[in-house]
Amino acid sequence: MPVTLFQLPLAIAFAAALLAAPFAMASENPCFRPVAEVIPLLEKMERSWDAVTDYTALLVKTERFVDGTTIDEIALIKFRKPNQFYLHVLEGANEGAELLFPKPGTDSVILGRPGGVSGAVAGFLVKVPAVGSLIPYEFDLDDGRLMEGQHHPLTDSTLAGMMRLVSVNARAAARNQEGSACVHPVELVDGKRARRLELRAPADVGTWHTIAEGETPWTIGGDYGQDRYVILYNNPSMDEKRPLPVGEKIFVPRYYAPRAVIWVGEASSLPLKLQMFDRENRLYESYANTDLRIDVGLPDEDFDPVRHGFPAVTTADEKTSAAEDGAR
């Protein structure tokens, strides 16, 4: 799979939280408990997140794609509530890439810079008169280019985003009385004591969707509340770069992954590591929050575009506002 402009680890290690399990844990991994029994633990995790103001972490990511290739990256993450986010890829195919969200004065504009060779070229060309203005640095939150070569959009790359992903699937399984769960003994993750929780969901439960004119994996995923890459992964004949064949049936699974394994810190009640597996029990994605630091008091400067070297750019709304001011 070729390296794309924003092949970034927009998918941070999040999931569910567990401290003291309310039922006995079996070391032989039977995973026979109803998923409904872990919902109170997920709610406890969500309450722990509600108390967080900001955090930093190193995100260690592996994602597997339809053709079997995998992408490994390590990125620095900084997040401050309600929605300020900075990401810098330190190692991997897109080393040097940066994302900052949102652009000050907006609620849906992302500032982005590619990494790797393309990033170096872009950094050089932006200094060339009449060329630098053509280098894109601003992207709307729903810009499809931000999803190329990665499993998750930017908004899912926070602890809250991944916890929501797991909670939604667990609650759906509990509501439909499907799947199972089990809790394993405490393990060390990045030197921290963490509880390991395993969730199972049926891989063959979902909807056979008939493709209509103009539909894309993105729009279909939105209609069903399912991730675009999950749909592509479960329908390997689909080609996201070409129009989908009208009238063809594709399978949209009800659950994000048939098997999820998550490690939640005993001290923080926040996720330290998450792994998802496909129907063949092959690793689909893995995320780990190493060196996780909570409530460090991140200053405004950490989310200042100028400090991170982004050029002076304006949004469409700002341009419209300037034009209206000039016409008065």
Rounded Cα gap, residues 284 and 64, in angstroms: 5
CA 231, 237, 241, 242 torsion-angle sign: negative
- 16-41 confidence digits (pLDDT tens): 333 333 333 333 446 889 999 988 88
Percent of the chain with pLDDT over 90: 45
Average pLDDT over residues 60-89: 92
Alpha helices in 186-299 (DSSP H): 217-224, 228-234
Query: Other CB atoms closer than 10 Å to residue 208's CB: what's the count?
Result: 8
- 195-215 confidence digits (pLDDT tens): 999 999 999 999 999 999 999
- 253-298 confidence digits (pLDDT tens): 999 999 999 999 999 999 999 999 999 999 999 999 999 999 999 9
Burial (0-12, 13-18, 19+ Cβ within 10 Å), 50: exposed
Rounded Cα gap, residues 157 and 166, in angstroms: 13
In total, the chain counts a number of residues equal to: 328
Give the residue, 15 or 50, on which the prediction is more confident: 50
Instruction: Name the DSSP letter for residue 33.
Output: B
Q: Could you give the C-alpha distances from 318 to 168, 305, 314, 322, 323, in angstroms and in order?
A: 36, 16, 6, 6, 9
Query: Other CB atoms closer than 10 Å to residue 53's CB: what's the count?
Result: 12
Question: Looking at residue 41, what is its pLDDT?
Answer: 85
Burial (0-12, 13-18, 19+ Cβ within 10 Å), 177: exposed
